[in-house]
Structure 1
């Protein structure tokens, strides 16, 4: 029995080749989550590839992904992802239910979508930087953040810290939630 040849390259040796390979994978009609995760993990992080694009922020708010696929690859350091259940009733103030905490090391990749739940990603180190690469399909320009204590949902506009390594004008899209 013959197996179909994979279109995935055997060696993703730099960020540019990862991006090229991802374009090929996403040109198909359907997305194979495991294939994308494997492809992203096959790239071994090299700061020379991505340092121009690195911008630092301590953590994200608890948020959804607006019906998109979200892949996260850790390029440097260690990150903690906290998963939460969706609030049961938006009309009642209730603390979000924490499902679990997962730690990711350099070169690992994780995946989430709205059917899995909500999450927050943070660098819990006080001295070491962490750098992550995020891939959203389809891209989105707004999402919801959630207050951990009340479950209150707030719609926020997504902003980019940089585009092609150049700092973009940063608007007033910061969440007012205290997450």
Structure 2
């Protein structure tokens, strides 16, 4: 690994700088990334300007583009809002809860040989403030939800490599559709979706723990 990074970043900016160091080579260690993200303690003064809420759906708000190797974004979840069941387009996904509680429901991939069947749920995890979750497509699919009807929630997500579409699934039938993913805002400013805008990314090889 080239360069030094702060194992215990005190601010969001220090976390971003540490992530740039961790992603400065073609090989990245999953446990190192997860550890640095866990060690940053959430501070609303750091991330509040990026947390843009919408009454109708959760929002994806770009914080940093990671020199093409990753996207770092904040997802703002209003009361009762959640995602569909979705894949991650062969990317690595880290999710850190900044505020509130989020539930992750895990599902196995539907069988390609069966046309219509309810999806198999394989796990449920509840994540509190400062906890970090990790998933990739080899582990399965997931849905993330803010189950609270009185409190909003906020989370920090890192995707490597970046992607601009993923597969979404109907839990009742397993039916799959490709969905475009867009940013509600970039760097704290509202950014309307512009058709035709893809994301270019570098290829990064991840080192996985042997027991994963």
TM exceeds 0.5?
A: yes
| Offset at residue 161 of structure 1 (A) | 1.0
Q: Secondary structure at the match of 2:151?
A: coil
User: 2:162: which partner in 1?
Assistant: 139
Distance 1:40 1:90, change over 3 A: farther
Distance 1:55 1:91, change over 3 A: farther
User: 1:175: which partner in 2?
Assistant: none
Q: Partners in 2 of 1:157 and 1:17 — Cα distance?
A: 31
User: 2:91: which partner in 1?
Assistant: 68
Q: Is the 8 A contact 1:90 1:152 kept in 2?
A: no
Is 1:41 the equivalent of 2:27? no
| Offset at residue 11 of structure 1 (A) | 2.9
Q: Secondary structure at the match of 2:9?
A: coil
Distance 1:23 1:95, change over 3 A: same
Q: Deviations over 1:61-100 (max 9, x none)?
A: 1000000000001000100000000001265111110011
Identify which of 178, 181, 185 aligns with 1:158: 181
Q: Is the 8 A contact 2:6 2:14 kept in 1?
A: no
Is 1:88 the equivalent of 2:111? yes
Is 1:24 the equivalent of 2:21? yes
Q: Partners in 1 of 2:160 and 2:36 — Cα distance?
A: 15
Q: Deviations over 1:19-41 (max 9, x none)?
A: 01001001122121111000001
Q: Partners in 1 of 2:181 and 2:48 — Cα distance?
A: 22
Q: Secondary structure at the match of 1:134?
A: strand
Q: CA RMSD in A?
A: 1.8
Q: Partners in 2 of 1:55 and 1:90 — Cα distance?
A: 41
User: 1:121: which partner in 2?
Assistant: 144
Aligned residues: 168
TM-score by structure 1 length?
0.89
TM-score by structure 2 length?
0.75
Give structure 1 regions of 4+ aligned residues with deviation exceeding 3 angstroms: none
Q: Is the 8 A contact 1:8 1:39 kept in 2?
A: no
Q: Partners in 2 of 1:10 and 1:33 — Cα distance?
A: 14
User: 2:200: which partner in 1?
Assistant: none
